[in-house]
Amino acid sequence: MEVKSAEFVISSALLSQCPADNKPEYAFIGRSNVGKSSLINMLSRNKKLAKTSATPGKTLLINHFIINKEWYLVDLPGYGFAKRSKKEVAKLDQMIRSYILGREQLVNVFVLVDVRLEPQAIDLEFINWLGLSSIPFAIVFTKADKLTAAKVRANVAAYERKMLETWEEMPPYFVTSSEKREGRDEVLSYIEQINTGLKEG
């Protein structure tokens, strides 16, 4: 897929404020500081599309970006918030869950996972919740440029072993590096494949 245009559309605090049309939506979510904004900017080839920040947990709203006037890339607030009150965390959690469970246009959630870390309970809990809620999702391993290729493979294999303790099979996954533009074509091809299926269906 060639990304010809990528534009910010709206930031929403409520599901009812999201765009009213029926274009397919692909949501990106992950723990604070997982490299979500960098990944979104890499996919869209627009360094300023999503605001990157040195302070984790900057995304506090549901942000819609329209890609090629055909589909929405949705930047969701992270989970495992850094330095937030319990009330704020509960509010953000409610916003995320109401969007994921209530948004009919949502066709896939990309869960971002830092490939440098061993499987984190918070990521696995969120992944299991998506599975129990019957929400289609894929895993995006980020920051692959920070490790050797062999270490990346070993860490992904460790993740797979952990997942297969509770899952029958590994969901689709992608290994990415925003720095090196690694995994970009694979993620975009996956989105294109789903969009094509939706048109044909």
Section 39-49 average pLDDT: 93
The half-sphere exposure of 92 on its side-chain side, counting CA atoms within 13 A, is 21
pLDDT at 86: 85
134: left (phi over 0), alpha (psi -120 to 50) or beta: left
pLDDT one-digit tens code per residue, 77-111: 888 766 678 888 888 899 999 999 999 999 999 99
pLDDT at 82: 60
User: Per-residue pLDDT for 47 more than 60?
Assistant: yes
pLDDT at 51: 77
The answer to whether the beta carbons of residues 115 and 156 sit under 8 Å apart is: yes
- Res. 67 pLDDT band, cuts 50 70 90: very high
Strand 106-114 relative to strand 137-142, pairing:
parallel
Burial 52-64 (b: 16+ CB within 10 A, else e): beeebbbbbbbbb
User: Per-residue pLDDT for 52 more than 70?
Assistant: no
Neighbour order of strands in the sheet with 6-12 = 6-12, 62-67, 71-75, 25-30, 106-114, 137-142, 173-175
What letter would DSSP give residue 172? P
Section 61-76 average pLDDT: 96
Q: Is this prediction's pTM over 0.85?
A: yes
Residue in 62, 150, 68 with CA at minimum distance from that of residue 102:
62
User: Per-residue pLDDT for 55 more than 60?
Assistant: no
φ, ψ for residue 13 (rounded to 5)?
A: -95, -20
pLDDT at 74: 96
User: Per-residue pLDDT for 57 more than 70?
Assistant: no
Question: Would you mind telling me the total number of residues written for the chain in this entry?
Answer: 201
Sheet strands (E) in 68-105: 71-75
The fold of 6-200 is Rossmann fold (3.40.50)
User: Per-residue pLDDT for 58 more than 80?
Assistant: no
Rounded Cα–Cα distance for residues 88 and 31 (Å): 16
pLDDT at 32: 83
Spell out the residues 6+ positions from residue 141 whose beta carbon is closer than 8 angstroms to its own. 113, 114, 115, 152, 155, 156, 159, 173, 174, 175, 176
pLDDT at 54: 55
pLDDT one-digit tens code per residue, 147-174: 999 999 999 999 999 999 999 999 999 9
Q: Mean pLDDT in the chain?
A: 93
The answer to whether the beta carbons of residues 132 and 103 sit under 8 Å apart is: no
Spell out the domain ranges in the chain: 6-200
